[in-house]
Amino acid sequence: MALQRMVKIKVWSTDVEVLEDFVSKIVDIAKRSGVKMSGPIPLPTKKITIRTLKLPHGEGKKKYEKWEMRIHKRLLYVAEDERVMRQLIRVRVPPEVWVELEIL
């Protein structure tokens, strides 16, 4: 019995609604084709914070603004199948979503 190779799909975005919509499209393709799939596994959200001086602060107390960006990540494992891979390539990736594919 041969082992089936898996494809690791890592998806991340700053907009969680767009990310969940894109991941649901991938899950639908995998379920319709009937291949083995694991995920989506939510990975820890990365928070990037930047503190900047609020201008003009003059000679008095210094005031700061805090800006924060959150990067949401999902991980999926899909069994390697030619039909499924062709369908995944056809899915339109939104501009705010990044995708990384790795064959294991």
Ranges of H-type helices in 1-81: 16-33
Q: Is the alpha carbon torsion for 89, 91, 92, 98 positive or negative?
A: negative
Q: Give the start-to-end residue ranges of the domains of the chain.
A: 6-44+71-103
**Alpha-carbon Rg for the chain in angstroms:** 20
Give the CATH fold of the 6-44+71-103 domain: Alpha-Beta Plaits (3.30.70)
pTM for this predicted structure? 0.77
> Looking at the predicted structure, is the pLDDT value of residue 9 above 60?
yes
Calculate the alpha carbon distances from 41 to 3, 19, 73, 74, 90 in Å: 23, 13, 8, 5, 23
Q: What is the pLDDT of residues 31-88, one digit of tens each?
A: 888 888 888 999 999 999 998 887 776 666 777 888 999 999 999 998 888 888 888 8
> Looking at the predicted structure, is the pLDDT value of residue 11 above 80?
yes
